[in-house]
Structure formats: C-alpha cells, structure tokens
Structure 1
C-alpha cells in the first residue's frame, strides 16, 4: 500500500491520522482543552499525555537510570542527557543545552530578564527554580545538609560551596597579596579592600565598611548591649567572638603573623593595619599639615600635637608627652636603659631614633657643610648648633651660676660639676673626673705629655694661649 503524505509538510502520515485533522494542526486550529489548567491541544493523544502530568502518572521509564517521566517527549530529552547530546547552543557565550527550553531560560539571563518575583521581599530572579530556592530562605527551610559537619543550607549551590571549605579548595587568588579564597564573591570583597572601597555605611555615625558583615557587627555597638564580659579585666563586648579575641591578649596568643617581616599579632585586624605599612598605604591624612598616616590611631595622636594636648607627664623631670608610649621611652633615659646598640662600634642608645642618626656617622654621609670653617656634619641639626659657635650665641644657661654655653651638651657637662657627678674614670689609677677634658689632662700626667686639653670637649691643644682662645669660642 502506498504511503499517505501530508499535503503541506510532504511527510508520511500515520494510519490513525485523518487528513482533515492534519490540516487543522498546520493551520493552528486547536479544539481540545484541559479542564484543569485550560491548556489547549490539537491532538487528543496530546491532551491524554498532558493529563498524566496532573494525575502524576509516569509511564515512560529510562532504561539506563530508571527515572520515570509523564511524557514520551520528556523521556526523549532525558536520554540526551545520558548521550551527552546538547544541540541547543547559546550564540552569545557558546554554552550548550539539552533542551530548547533551557536555552530560552538561559537567554533571559543575558537579556537581564527577571520575570520571577518574590512576593515577600520583592527580589526578582531569572529562573523559577531560583525563586523556589529563595523562598526556602524566608520560610527557614534548609533541605540540603552537609554529611561532614551536619550544617544545613537552603540551596544545593550553597551546600556545594560549603563542601569546598572541608576540602580546603581555594581557587580564587588575589593578584595583589596572593591570598586565596573559596568563593569568587569573597575575592571580590577582598579586592574592594585593596581599592579602598567602603560601600557599606552606618546610618548612625557615618562610618563606612568594606564588607556588609562588618557593618552588621558595628550596628550592634550603637545598641549598647554588651553581654559578653571578660573575667580578668571586666571589659564587656557586644559579640562573643570579640570577647574570645580579647582573651587572646591576656593569654599572649599571637596567631596572626606577617609573611613579610615575621611580626605576630593577637588580632587579624592588627595584622591588616600592619600590612598597610608594608604596602605604603596612608589613608589617614591630617587636615592641618597634610601629613598622612597608616593607622587612624596615629592620626588621632598626631592631632593632639597640633592641639598641644600632652596628658602623659614625667614625674621626674616634668616633661609632658602626647603618647604614653613616648613617656615610657623617655623613662628609659632616666633609668639608663640602652636597648638599641650599634652593630659597628657597639655604642648603645636609649631610643631607636638616636641609633638611626648615629649609624649615619659610620656611613660617612656628611652632607651638611659649614660655609665659614668647612666642617661637615651628618645632621642638619648638628650644623645649626655649630653655627651658633661662630655667631657666639649662647642660649644654654646654667640655672645655678648663670654661665652660658653654645651647645646643650656643654651645659650638661657643666651641670655634672655642680652635681658632683664624675663620669670619666682613669683606667690606670682609678681617679674620676667631672669632665672629659680633665681626664685627658690627667692622662697626660701618666704619659708625661704637656698638651693642654679643653675641659668641655676634651680637644688637645699645644700651649695655654691656644687653649684660652679655644675656650673663648665655647
């Protein structure tokens, strides 16, 4: 028997198909409606298969995995999954899909179409499945549980990202500092830190933060509920985690180490501020003089200098300081503590800055030259003091006898005489002297040398007349 062909498509017709029905199908004439959802169909067989969906009948089973489907067409699409057939390709990004419907939904993503809106918060989504997963957040449903730690999540995607934590997988690396992250979103937030972006601002005090979590924690400070108290110092904290970090201070635990210089810190925040110093980031600028600082605390202390606030006073000499740290360093002078030693000559200093200035002497860099006598100096301050000698300026006066000196060091030596302090000792006979010049003259006695020495600076001169001229300069 000769096959019957469709008059329009020129394809063979089934024995059961009426030519009239076939023409209606091509013409789009639909006369079979579903009583449940109202969807219309051309063929009675199509309506029958559709009704299986409503009653949950799944007559078409996959021979490979056993999964059952309500329609033969859906089974056919499913079989493409096993075969790896993806005939529907996106022209924009090249991604391929098994079903045409999946491609259509994917195209909505490129177009920015978000037709699925949440009735609770108003957030819109591209896919219906995304909205469904989002609704679990509102109802608190956490259907996806971690087999390792038991933690549950509202979506499968979040669970998969969580599993990377257990696996230690950190595929997202920062090109600036080398730090790696589990999630791409975490890397993006981290990059904002390098860029100095702070998009999360507090409505109460105006303080801005890089991360939303930081702002959330900060808001609790304004509420004033500090329920977590330290048993050692009785400080209270809003967050329990803050108390735990605080306890590390008492325990002396420093788990946060700098990869560059090796310095360790109690808190990660302290390490982050320290890292700014290495990269040269100075985001805190003084409005008065324009000087910039790495840390906000340094700027706060600096502003006290402009304001003349010096709350830390020395009980011995009465000198006042802006910072307590500066006072502690000053107290080392009174105590005679010299922890900063020169590696070249072994001379020790009370303060680190003094050691830095001293090392320049060994380097031989004497860039500050006197235009009168040609003497050169390492520091400009030393040159300025030297110029006072030529000018005859004697600003350093003794409070006891009224004698004035060109330099502060000379006055200090003179004051030792009034106090009876004899710092200079003879290595031969053990006799002590107030001034270095006196010791040098004494040493000449042992050596039978008749040179004259300045009692202030110890300089050797031939003859009493030369010594007198030299003393007049002083």
Structure 2
C-alpha cells in the first residue's frame, strides 16, 4: 500500500489546507471547523460533527475490531486507525522529539508526546474530572464509567472491560505462579500481588485517604474506604429505617421484608429473595470461589467475604467491645471476647458490640 501518494483535487479547505476528492466531503469537513457537534454518544456523552463519526465511535463501545494488521495482527475499530498504524511498519518516522529523540509518524502524536514532557493534560473526563495526556487513554477511562465489559472468561464467567485484564485473569485458572517473595517464599500469579505482599513486609501503605488521612496497602481497599465518606443515603426503608445511596438498593431491600422468595436452589431447595444470593449459593455447591485475595491467595465465594478478609491485612478493627473498649477486625471475635467478661464476673452479659 502506498502511503506517500495524494489525490489531486480542487476541493481544498481554506482553514487547514486539507484537500478532498468531493465537494460534499469538504462541506462536512467545514462543520468541524465551525465547532458544530450535533451528534452525541448516549453512553459517554462525547459529541461529533458528523453522524458517521458517531457511528464509528459506537463501534469502540461495542468492542468490534474488524480491521486487522497483516504484519503484526493488531486489530482496530476503524480503517483510518489501521492505515495510520501501517505507517509504523513501513518506517515512516520523520518527526523527532527534541527532548528524548523519540520519533513519530504524525505531527499530532508528537504534539501529544511533548505535552507529557511539560505536564500538560488536555483530555479531561467530564464525569470525574480526571485528566489525561492522550485521547486514547481518556477513551479507555470512559469505558470504566460506562461499565461496559465485553471480555468474558470462558472458565468462570467473570467479565472485564479490557482484553489485557482478561488475559491477566486467565493465568489464575492455569495456576502458574512465577512471582516469588524473597523474604518468605510465598508465590503469586501476578507481579502486582507480589508488590502488595512486599509492601506488607515493609509496612508501606502508599494509598492515603484525602479526608481522614488513613492509609492502606492497596488502592482497591482505599476505594472501598472512600465510600464511607462520600455515601449519601437519601433512600430510607419505612419499616426498619435502613438507608441506601440508590433507589435500586432500597427496592432490593424491601424484598427482605416480604415473605416471597422467588429464587430456589434446584439442588437443596433453599429459597432466596435475591437472584445474586442464589448464584452465590450455587457457587458453594459447585465449590467455585471467584473472589481471590491478592495478598495471601485465599479465595472466597462472595465479594463481601473478601472485603471483610482484606480488613485483616489492612489492620482495620471496626468492632469494639462496649465494656473495655478493645477492638477487633471481626464481629464474632468481639462476641467471644465479651463472653470472657461474663466468665470473669460470673454473670450473663449481652453480646452486643459497637462499631467505630
């Protein structure tokens, strides 16, 4: 394919000098310079000047990559992106960075790269405000907000937003643990798991809450902690008074107060109010534990159990004895502790605990 040739045309843009084979194409191009973007994506909110551009953008959300490179087999959502990629294989790298000498095929790519050297982030997420150097990184970030998970594990059914995350996950099923701790010999499937583990040996907690300054070993644990600070619970149950951040949470909760249990286990006949509780229950029958601790490797049927387990690693002790004030990570531990108070004084003490 020849990437050096250019079509001879009289339809040239007066603003940027770009030429087109058809007058209609030039008119559509001029809409872009006018700043008119009437075609908006329903998923991420990005707006486009042309309907065709929106259609191509939607392909990204769908995860369709129909354009494949004949040289390295890399796939793309748009033919234009493939054509641009092919220039890399044929050695078109004429633009050089004055700072690090890295070469580029396009001026736009060089400009984006230069922003990294000076710390300019021009691409901002309109949902959370996070900023990025590259538009492609912002696009990947927007998939997270859209909660689109197009990559599914064939073994356990777990879904992922990116193919790279799925590939990383698949190594857990194979059981290959190539990352070994030099201190205790414990082995891990992922390098990230070893890193978190080494931080525990060193006592390093790099993830700090900006509100209460509490520190954590893992970023995921910090995110869970932040929910405590930002959770506004406006939806309250009229029966028991429990409050929820979303209406959907209250709706699901109301089923608990009713006697109707629509979801029944075909194996033991146990019934459940919620479908996901039945799914967790079925995993117990099958011995499936999809939620694995990256620190010690212990696996759990339910994500909530894993969260509670992580509190042991983080040293979180939310359950406090109301008699002597001693704190524990688990509720059952504080109950056993209160029983000891009863043995000492020879009486019966209610086994309640206070949460910090």
When normalised by structure 2's length, the TM-score is 0.52
**In structure 2, C-alpha distance between the alignment counterparts of 1:250 and 1:175, rounded to whole Å:** 34
User: Which of 177, 202, 205 matches 1:337?
Assistant: 205
3-state SS of paired residue (1:297): helix
How many pairs were matched up? Answer: 248
**Runs of 5+ consecutive residues of structure 2 not aligned to the other structure:** 229-241, 244-279, 281-308, 314-323, 325-333, 348-356
Structure 1's 313 and 241: CA in aligned 2 closer, same or farther, altered over 3 A?
farther
* Per-residue Cα deviation, 1:155-179 (whole angstroms, up to 9, x for no partner): 3333323332332222333344433
Structure 1's 249 and 318: CA in aligned 2 closer, same or farther, altered over 3 A?
farther
Larger mean CA deviation between 317-326 and 457-466 belongs to 457-466
1:124-143 superposed matches below 5 A: 140-143=7-10
What's the counterpart of residue 102 of structure 1?
Answer: none
Larger mean CA deviation between 330-339 and 273-282 belongs to 330-339
**In structure 1, C-alpha distance between the alignment counterparts of 2:42 and 2:67, rounded to whole Å:** 24
The alpha-carbon deviation at position 181 of structure 1 amounts to 2.0
What's the counterpart of residue 281 of structure 1?
Answer: 148
**In structure 1, C-alpha distance between the alignment counterparts of 2:214 and 2:76, rounded to whole Å:** 47
1:111-260 superposed matches below 5 A: 140-223=7-90, 239=106, 241-260=108-127
The alpha-carbon deviation at position 213 of structure 1 amounts to 0.5
Structure 1's 237 and 195: CA in aligned 2 closer, same or farther, altered over 3 A?
same
* Per-residue Cα deviation, 1:57-92 (whole angstroms, up to 9, x for no partner): xxxxxxxxxxxxxxxxxxxxxxxxxxxxxxxxxxxx
**In structure 2, C-alpha distance between the alignment counterparts of 1:168 and 1:342, rounded to whole Å:** 38
Q: Which has the higher contact order (CA 8 A, sep 6+)?
A: 2
**In structure 2, C-alpha distance between the alignment counterparts of 1:245 and 1:323, rounded to whole Å:** 31
Asked if 1:302 corresponds to 2:188, the answer is no
Asked if 1:293 corresponds to 2:163, the answer is no
Structure 1's 208 and 336: CA in aligned 2 closer, same or farther, altered over 3 A?
closer
User: Which of 137, 142, 151 matches 1:270?
Assistant: 137
The alpha-carbon deviation at position 247 of structure 1 amounts to 4.0
**In structure 2, C-alpha distance between the alignment counterparts of 1:148 and 1:229, rounded to whole Å:** 26
**In structure 2, C-alpha distance between the alignment counterparts of 1:465 and 1:342, rounded to whole Å:** 46
What's the counterpart of residue 350 of structure 1?
Answer: 217
Give yes or no for contact 1:342–1:348 (8 Å, CA) kept in 2.
Answer: no
The alpha-carbon deviation at position 241 of structure 1 amounts to 4.2
**In structure 1, C-alpha distance between the alignment counterparts of 2:62 and 2:71, rounded to whole Å:** 25
Structure 1's 148 and 350: CA in aligned 2 closer, same or farther, altered over 3 A?
closer
The alpha-carbon deviation at position 304 of structure 1 amounts to 2.8
Structure 1's 178 and 224: CA in aligned 2 closer, same or farther, altered over 3 A?
same
When normalised by structure 1's length, the TM-score is 0.41
**Runs of 5+ consecutive residues of structure 1 not aligned to the other structure:** 1-137, 365-379, 381-407, 413-439, 441-453, 467-474
Structure 1's 237 and 461: CA in aligned 2 closer, same or farther, altered over 3 A?
farther
Give yes or no for contact 1:342–1:359 (8 Å, CA) kept in 2.
Answer: no
User: Cα RMSD between the aligned structures?
Assistant: 4.8
**In structure 2, C-alpha distance between the alignment counterparts of 1:262 and 1:358, rounded to whole Å:** 17
Structure 1's 308 and 254: CA in aligned 2 closer, same or farther, altered over 3 A?
farther
3-state SS of paired residue (2:37): coil
